[in-house]
Chains A and B, each alone.
Chain A
C-alpha cells in the first residue's frame, strides 16, 4: 500500500533528555511530511502515547504492505517506540540493524543517538561514549544539545571531568539548555578541582531571575542555590549560606530543605529567634515531610539554646507524641502494604484506555503509602517498576479480550461453513445451470437456419406470427383447390389464390433484408445473454470453489492462537505476581527506612527531654523544688 500525501515527522518527539540528570520529555509540534496512511495511523497512536497500538500498526503494515515511501523513518519510529514502551533490548537490536544496513546520514546519526542513550540507561557508559562520538552533524539543533549534555554526563560518570568541561564550555543553545550547561559544567569544574570557576557557574544559575524563567529552570535554580547554601554551611560561612538558602523559592520541591538549612545557618550565627522562625514555618508544612519531622526536634533544641528549658521540654514532648503517632501510622501503612493496598492502588482504573497508562510520564499511585514514600516513588527504580506493572496488566487485558473474541470467530466460521454446505447441493442440482449447454446448441441451430435463410433468400422463413397464419391459410386453400380441381373448375379461385400468395410473397421479399437484419440482431442479443449467463455460471462456480477459503484453515489458526494466548496469560500472571512482590519489597524497604528514621528522632527527642529533666532537677535541687511541682504551677 503505497501512497503519496503530506503528513508529518515525529522523530524529535521521542526526545528524552538525559543530559539534565533527570529525564525530561520534549515534544515538537512542527509538522513534517509523511506519505503513507499506515504511517499516519501509527503517528496518530504514537502522539497519544499509545505505544502498544502504534507498534502493532507498524508490525501489521510490515506484513500487509511495508511502508517504503517514508524511507527509513518507519524503522526509526519503531525503534523509538520500543524504547518508549520500555523494550530496550528490541530497540537496541533494531537500531543496530539500521546501522548495519546502508543508511542515510540522518538515520545513521539518529540511530547512534538512540543506541548511546540505551547504553547509558543500561549503565554501559564507555560504550555510550563510543556511540555518541560516531554521530556526525545531521542532528537537529535540539537533539544536538541533548547529545552534548549526554556526552558530558557520560564523561562525568567516568570521572573524566576535563572532557566534560571541554564538551560543555563551548556550548551555546537556547537559554534553558545554557542554564543546564552552566549547572553541569559547574558540577564538572568542581569535581575537576576547579572549584572557584565551578561555584561561580553554579552561582550564575542560582542568580537567574525567577520571574522570567520556566518552571523547570526555577527548579534548577533552586537546586543550585541549595547546593551552594549547604556548601557554604560546611565551610562555616553561614552568612553566605543564608543568602543562597533565601534564594530558594518558598513554595517549591526544595523549599523545605532550604528552610531547614536556613534555620541551621541562623543557629550557627546564634540568631536563634530567626532560626526558630524558619523552623516554625516548616511546622506549617506537611507533617510527613522528613525535613518537617527533623524540625520537630530542631525547634526544642533551639529553644533550649535560648535558655527556655521548660518550653523546650514542652516542644520535645510534642515531638515525642508526634513521632509516636507517625510510627503508629507507619505501622498501619506497612500492614496495608502487606495486605495489598499499594498494589490495588497501582492497578489502572481503565485498562481499555491505553492513554491512561503512565508509560511516558511521572506518576504516583493514589495510595495511602504515597505521602510516606514520595521520594522512593519518584526514583527511577520505582517508576520503572510501576510502568512495567501497568504494562503487564494492560497486556493481560489485551490477551483476555482476544480470547473472549475467539468463540465469536468460531461461531462465524461455523455459520459460513454451514451456509456453504447447505447451499452447495442446491446449486449443484439446479437444472438451469445444465441448460446452458442445450441453450448454446439451440443458438447454433438458429444461427445455421438464419444462414440458410439468407442463402436462399427465403422470405417465408421470416414471417411474423400473423403472417404465419396467413401462410397456413394459403397452404390450406391450395390443398383444397387441388382436391376440388378433380371434380370442378376452380380456375377463378386459383387465380385469386395465386394473387393473394403473390401479394404475400411480394411483401415478404420486399421486407426480407430488414427482417434478416432483425433476426441477426436478435441472434446477437441472444449471444450476449448467453455470454452473461455463462459468466454468471463461471462466477458462481468460482465463488463456490473459493468459499471454503473464507472458513477453511482458520480453525487451526484460532486453535493455535488460543494456545499461544493461554500460554502467555500463564506467564503474564506469573510475571505480574513477581512484579507485585518486587513493588511490595521496594515499598516495605522504604517504609522500614522511614520507621528507622522516625525511631531515631524519637530516641533523640527522649534523650533531649531526659537531659533537660536532669538539668532542671539539678536546678530545682539547688532551689529545693521539684520540676513537677513547677510544671504543675
Chain B
C-alpha cells in the first residue's frame, strides 16, 4: 500500500479521479465546466428572476386578498377545512359537503394530498357565504375503512353564523379503542 500511496502522491492522480475526471484522455469531458456561459450574466439573470418571483408573490397576495374581500366578505364568510390525525384506519377518497341540504362542495383526494393530510396539512375545502343565523352542515366521507372495506360516513353539525368569518374543521381521526375512524366537526373560535 505504501508504494501505491507514494506513487499516487507523486502523480496526484487520485485527487483528479476523486473529483470526477475520467481516466483516459479519450473520454470526452462533458459537463457544466464545458459551458462557456458567463457567471456574471447567470447571476444577474438569477437575481432578476428572484426579484420577479418576489414581486409576483406580493401581487398574488394582494389579488388573493382583493378576491376574498369581493367574493367572501368577512360578515358572511364561511370556510370549511379538512384535516386528518394519523389516518391509520381510514384511507380517504373523497369528501362531500352539504349546507342546508344543498351540495356545495366535492373533493376527490389525490394520493399526494392524502399524504400531505397525514403529515399534518390542513386542506381548505370550501369557502362560501352564509347569512347570519342557524344552518345545517352535513359532511360525507368516502374511502376505505378497516380491512380495506368501502366506507362511507356522514357527520352533521348545526352552526350558528354570526357577523364574523366562521371556520369549521372536519377532522378524521383514529379511535384506538374501536380501531375505527372517527369523524369530528369542530367550529373554531376566533379571538
A interface list, Cβ under 8 A from B: 1-3, 5-10, 29, 31-32, 34, 37, 40-41, 43-48, 52, 55-56, 59-60, 63-64, 85-90, 187, 190-191, 193, 195-196, 199-200, 226-227, 230-237, 240, 257, 260-261, 264, 290-291, 293-294, 297-298, 355, 375-376, 379-382, 384, 388, 391-392, 395, 398-399, 402, 405, 409, 412-413, 550, 554, 557-558, 561, 564-565, 568, 571-572, 575, 578-579, 582, 585-586, 589-590, 593-594, 597, 600-601, 604
Contacts and interface: CB of A to CB of B under 8 A. Distances in A.
Given A45-B121, A568-B52, A593 B28 contact: yes
Given A240-B4, A264-B24, A5 B42 contact: no
B68 to A, nearest CB: 8
Contacts of A405: 67
Given A10-B120, A44-B124, A571-B52, 8 more contacts: A1-B167, A43-B121, A59-B58, A85-B53, A195-B14, A196-B2, A227-B18, A590-B30
A190 B14 contact: yes
B26 interface: yes
Given A260-B24, A290-B28, A597-B28, A32 B49 contact: no
B25 to A, nearest CB: 10
A234 B42 contact: no
A187 to B, nearest CB: 5
B37 interface: yes
Interface stretch (B79-87, B98-106, B134-142, B174-182): B79-87
Contact of B30 (A232, A375, A399, A575): A375
A409 B66 CA distance: 10
Contact of A568 (B24, B59, B69): B59
11 contacts: A1-B191, A5-B186, A40-B121, A41-B124, A43-B122, A44-B123, A48-B116, A264-B23, A297-B26, A402-B59, A561-B59
Interface string B22-55: 1110111111101111000110011111101111
Given A1-B190, A402-B63, A586-B35, A381 B42 contact: yes
Interface stretch (B5-13, B144-152, B154-162): B5-13
B8 A235 contact: yes
Contacts of B124: 41, 44
**B: contact size bracket:** 35 or more
B67 to A, nearest CB: 7
A561 B123 CA distance: 28
B64 to A, nearest CB: 6
B176 to A, nearest CB: 15
A31 B87 CA distance: 12
Contacts of B67: 405, 409
Nearest to B44: A578
Given A7-B83, A568-B55, A87 B50 contact: yes
Contacts of B122: 7, 37, 40-41, 43-44
Contact of B64 (A9, A56, A572): A56
Contacts of A568: 52, 55-56, 59
Contacts of A199: 1, 4-5, 8, 14
Nearest to A65: B190
A13 to B, nearest CB: 8
A181 to B, nearest CB: 15
A590 B9 CA distance: 33
A413 B35 contact: no
Interface of B: 1-2, 4-9, 11, 13-15, 17-18, 22-24, 26-32, 34-37, 41-42, 45-50, 52-67, 69-70, 73, 81, 83, 85-86, 112-113, 115-117, 119-124, 167, 169, 186, 188-191
Contacts of B5: 195-196, 199
B1 A196 contact: yes
B9 A5 contact: no
B9 A237 contact: no
Nearest to B119: A47
A558 to B, nearest CB: 7
Contacts of B73: 550
Contact of A554 (B15, B42, B66, B117): B66
Contact of B57 (A2, A55, A86): A55
Nearest to B59: A564
Contacts of A381: 32, 35, 37, 42
Contacts of A5: 169, 186, 188
A276 B19 CA distance: 28
B117 A44 contact: yes
B81 to A, nearest CB: 6
A413 B34 contact: no
A29 B120 CA distance: 9
A37 B8 contact: no
Nearest to A226: B17
A392 B45 contact: no
B15 to A, nearest CB: 6
A391 B53 contact: yes
A298 B26 contact: yes
Contacts of A409: 66-67, 70
Contacts of B24: 260, 264, 294
Closest 7 CB pairs of A and B: A8-B120, A40-B122, A44-B121, A597-B28, A379-B32, A47-B116, A234-B13
A42 B120 CA distance: 10
B4 to A, nearest CB: 5
A590 to B, nearest CB: 6
B8 A392 contact: no
Contacts of B27: 257, 260, 290-291, 294
